[in-house]
Amino acid sequence: MMEKNERYIAAAAGYSEDGAGVTRINGIVIFVPGLLNGEEAEIGITKMKKNYGYGRIIKILKPSLHRIDPICSVYKQCGGCQLQHMDSNEQNTFKENKVKDCFHKIAGMDVEIQPIIKVEPHWNYRNKVQIPVQCNDNKVEMGFYAPHSNRIVQYNVCHVQTDLSNELTNYFCKQFDMLACGKDVRHVLIKHAHNTGEVMVALVVRKYPFHNSDILIKDVLVNYPQIKSLVAIVNKREDNVILDGKEILLAGRHYIEEELLGCTFRISARSFYQINPYATKELYSKAIELAGLTGNETLIDLYCGTGTMGIIAAKQAKQVYGIEIVADAIRDANTNAENNNVTNIKFINADASEGAKQIIDAKIQADAMIIDPPRKGCSKDTIDAIVTIAPKKLVYVSCDPATLARDVKILSDNGYKLELVQPVDLFPQTVHVETVALLSKLDVDKHIDVEIKLDELDLTSAESKATYAQIKQYILEKFDLKVSTLYIAQIKKKCGIALREHYNKSKKEKQVIPQCTPEKEEAIMDALRHFKMI
Q: Which residues are catalytic, by number?
A: 399
- Beta carbons within 8 Å of 168's beta carbon, 6+ residues apart: 188, 190, 199, 201, 224
Between CA 261 and CA 280 the distance in angstroms is: 10
Instruction: Report helix, strand or coil for 438.
Output: strand
174's enclosing H/E stretch is helix 163-178
Q: Tell me if 144 sits within 8 A of 78, measured CB to CB.
A: yes
Q: HSE (CB half, 13 Å, CA atoms) of 437?
A: 30
Q: Tell me if 312 sits within 8 A of 260, measured CB to CB.
A: yes
Cβ atoms within 10 A of the Cβ of 430, count? 18
Cβ atoms within 10 A of the Cβ of 460, count? 12
Q: Tell me if 125 sits within 8 A of 279, measured CB to CB.
A: yes
Q: Is 470 one of the annotated binding-site residues?
A: no
Q: Tell me if 184 sits within 8 A of 205, measured CB to CB.
A: yes
Between CA 189 and CA 86 the distance in angstroms is: 29
Q: Is 274 one of the annotated binding-site residues?
A: yes
Between CA 166 and CA 368 the distance in angstroms is: 41
Q: How many residues belong to the chain? A: 534
Nearest to 442 by CA among 392, 396, 404: 392
Q: Exposed/middle/buried for 518, CB within 10 Å: 0-12, 13-18, 19+?
A: middle
Between CA 392 and CA 384 the distance in angstroms is: 15
Q: Is 303 one of the annotated binding-site residues?
A: yes
Q: Is 324 one of the annotated binding-site residues?
A: yes
Read off φ and ψ for residue 291, nearest 5 degrees.
-70, -15
Binding-site residue numbers for S-adenosyl-L-methionine are 274, 303, 324, 372
